[in-house]
Amino acid sequence: MKSKTLLAIARAARLKGYAPYSHFLVGAALLTEEGSVITGSNIENASLGLTVCAERLACWTAVHYGYRRFSKIAVIADCTPPPVPCGACRQVIWETAGNVEVIMGNLAGETTVMSLLDLLPEPFGGSAWADNPVAGNREEEEEDLWRLPVSFTPIGYVVNNFQNPKDIPDNYRELISQVIIDPELEEGLYRVDEEEKITVIAYLHLSRGFTLKDRRRGRGNKNYGIFACHSPHRPNAIAQSTGEIVAVDRNRLIVRGLDLINGTPVLDLKTVIN
Ligand code: ZN
């Protein structure tokens, strides 16, 4: 993944921050060697001392989700020059990720790139404890591992005139939407135009909460189990919407017949293979 993309993800994560005291929002995005991105934003506390920075939140979240190998971290804030990680974050990035590339950016588009050891030349490490017999000797309970949350990075988003679910008209099957794909993934659309239909797997970002039974479209609008109908109020707010491929223009896919609103994050695309 390009540093520019990682910085763009950090910029989006910044908006998830909680900074009612300083009003200084910071976003961070940590790239794993597998290509996953774990984000963080600064979370303040009225005690001030309990505030945590975006970089540390990203590091701790990544470790919690089982990631251990990283290649770079991006940090962004609205300041000139671009922000540098504080001392505490440098120490935590060192322990979590080692000597990774640190990409620092601001909203004006300026960036600075340094290695972690440039920022923290004499890092404190845990090598003195390497012989501790407890380390690396834990028995793990693995049968519940499937319960761990899964995280995805959207590949793109939907553009159309439907601003909220109520705006989707009954004749949506005739209407055009665009699916804009991250330019880095454009090659994945190679020969898509040879197919007729495509299924868009999307995240219903406005959906809140879920129910286990809901009304099913058709069949007299009766109640069905949530897994027997297409209600948006599901345990995982994932939708699939199939449309007709009209055209492909670089990273822009024109599709007729999607029932997804403007701005819906897209997780995957699959052509319909008969
Ligand atoms: Zn910090």
Close Cβ partners of 173 (under 8 Å, ≥ 6 residues apart): 256, 257
Under CATH, what is the fold of the domain 156-272? Answer: Elongation Factor Tu (Ef-tu); domain 3 (2.40.30)
- CATH 3.40.140.10 given to domain 3-147: yes
pLDDT in the model for residue 218: 79
Order of strands across the sheet that contains 37-41: 37-41, 26-32, 70-77, 101-106, 111-115
* Distance spanning both ends of the chain, measured CA to CA: 34
pLDDT in the model for residue 89: 98
User: Measured in angstroms, how far is the CA atom of residue 83 from the centroid of ligand 1?
Assistant: 10
pLDDT in the model for residue 273: 87
Tell me the whole-structure pTM to 2 decimals.
Answer: 0.74
Rounded to an integer, what distance in angstroms lies between the CA atom of residue 96 and that of residue 2? Answer: 21
CB burial class (10 A; 0-12, 13-18, 19+) of residue 42? buried
pLDDT in the model for residue 139: 55
User: Measured in angstroms, how far is the CA atom of residue 184 from the centroid of ligand 1?
Assistant: 30
pLDDT in the model for residue 97: 95
User: Measured in angstroms, how far is the CA atom of residue 55 from the centroid of ligand 1?
Assistant: 6
pLDDT in the model for residue 190: 96
Which residues of the chain form CATH 3.40.140.10?
3-147
Q: Report in angstroms the alpha-carbon separations of 51 from 42, 75, 92, 160, 176.
A: 7, 17, 15, 39, 46
Which residues of the chain form CATH 2.40.30.70?
156-272
- Which amino acid, residue 254? I
- Low-confidence stretches of the chain (pLDDT < 70) are 127-142
Q: Which residues are catalytic?
A: 55
Hey, is 272 helix, strand or coil? coil
Cβ contact 92:125 at 8 Å: no
User: Measured in angstroms, how far is the CA atom of residue 155 from the centroid of ligand 1?
Assistant: 29
pLDDT in the model for residue 221: 83
pLDDT in the model for residue 135: 44
